[in-house]
Chains A and B, each alone.
Chain A
Amino acid sequence: MDIETKSGDRRPATDRTRTMAQSALRGLAVALVSLPGSVLCFCLTLVSLALVPIGIGIVTTPYVLTGVRMFADWRRVLAAEWGGVRIQRAYRPLPKDANPWARTFGMLRDPATWRDFLWLPVDMTLGFVTALLAFALALYPLEGFVIAAGLWRVWDGGTYWYGFVPVSDQTTALYAAALGAVLLVAAHWLTPFLLRAHFRLTDAILGSHQIELAERVRVLTETRRDAVDASAAELRRIERDLHDGAQARLVAMGMDLGTIEALLEKDPAKARELLARARRSSADALTELRELVRGIHPPVLAERGLGDAVRALALRLPLPVETDVDLPGRADAPVESAAYFAVSEILTNAVKHSGAERIWIDLHHADGRLRVSVTDDGKGGAVIGAGSGLAGVERRLGTFDGVLAVSSPAGGPTMVTVEIPCALS
Chain B
Amino acid sequence: MRVVLAEDLFLLRDGLVRLLEAHDFEIAAAVETGPELSRALAELEPDVAVVDVRLPPTLTDEGLQCALEARRRRPGLPVLVLSQHVEQLYARELLADGSGGVGYLLKDRVFDAEQFVDAVRRVAAGGTAMDPQVIQQLLSRRAAVDRPLERLTPRELEVLELMAQGRTNAAIAAKLVVTERAIAKHTANIFAKLSLEVSDDDNRRVLAVLAYLDRGH
B217 on the interface (CB 8 Å rule)?
Answer: yes
176-218 of chain A: CB within 8 A of chain B: none
Asked if residues A283 and B108 are in contact (CB atoms below 8 Å), the reply is yes
Contact in complex: B89, A282 (CB < 8 Å) = no
- Residues of A in contact, count (CB < 8 Å): 23
On whether the beta carbons of A312 and B84 are closer than 8 Å, the reply is no
Residue of B nearest to A290 (CB): B85
Q: Are B140 and A300 in contact (CB under 8 A)?
A: no
Q: Quick one: closest B residue to A322, CB to CB?
A: B217
Q: Is the CB of A315 within 8 A of B145?
A: no
CB distance from B213 to the nearest CB of A (A): 12
Q: Which of A282, A302, A318 has the most CB of B within 10 A?
A: A318
A303-323 Cβ-contact flags toward B at 8 Å (1 or 0): 110001001100111111100
A-B pairs under 8 A by CB, number? 55
- Cα A294 to Cα B87 with chains together (Å): 12
Contact status of A279 and B60, CB under 8 A, knowing A316-B137, A317-B141, A320-B217: no
Q: Quick check: A300 and B87 within 8 Å, CB to CB?
A: yes
Asked if A424 is an interface residue, CB under 8 A from chain B, the answer is no
A286 touches B108 (CB 8 A): yes
A98 CB to closest chain B CB (Å) equals 67
Q: Return chain A residues, CB-CB under 8 Å to B154.
A: none
CB-contacts of B102-137 with A (<8 A): 107-108, 111, 137
- Closest chain B CB from A390 CB (angstroms): 24
Nearest A residue to B145 via CB reads: A320
Residue A329 interfacial (CB < 8 Å): no
Minimum C-beta distance from B133 to chain A (A): 10
Given contacts A283-B108, A286-B108, A303-B54, contact A315 B88 (CB under 8 A): yes
A315 contacts across to B, CB distance below 8 A: 87-89, 137, 141, 217
| A303–B53 alpha-carbon span in the complex (Å) | 9
Smallest Cβ distance from B140 to chain A, in angstroms?
A: 6
Name B92's closest neighbour in chain A (CB-CB): A315
Q: Mark B136-158, 1 if CB is under 8 A from A, else 0.
A: 01001101110000000000000
Q: CB within 8 Å of A: which of B15-62?
A: 53-54, 59-61
Given contacts A279-B111, A283-B108, contact A318 B60 (CB under 8 A): no
The distance in angstroms between the C-alpha atoms of A247 and B194, with both chains bound, is 45
Q: Which residues in A have their C-beta under 8 angstroms from that of B217?
A: 315, 320-321
B137 contacts across to A, CB distance below 8 A? 315-316
Q: Which residue of A lies closest to B107 (CB)?
A: A286
Residues of A within 8 A of B144 (CB): 318-319
Alpha-carbon distance A290/B87, docked complex (angstroms) = 12
* B binding-site residues for A, Cβ under 8 Å: 53-54, 59-61, 83-85, 87-89, 107-108, 111, 137, 140-141, 143-145, 216-217
Show the binding face of A for B, using Cβ within 8 Å.
Answer: 279, 282-283, 286-287, 290, 293-294, 299-300, 302-304, 308, 311-312, 315-321
Other than A286-B108, A316-B141, give 13 A-B pairs with Cβ distance below 8 A: A282-B111, A283-B108, A299-B83, A299-B87, A300-B85, A303-B61, A308-B89, A315-B89, A315-B141, A316-B88, A318-B141, A318-B144, A319-B141
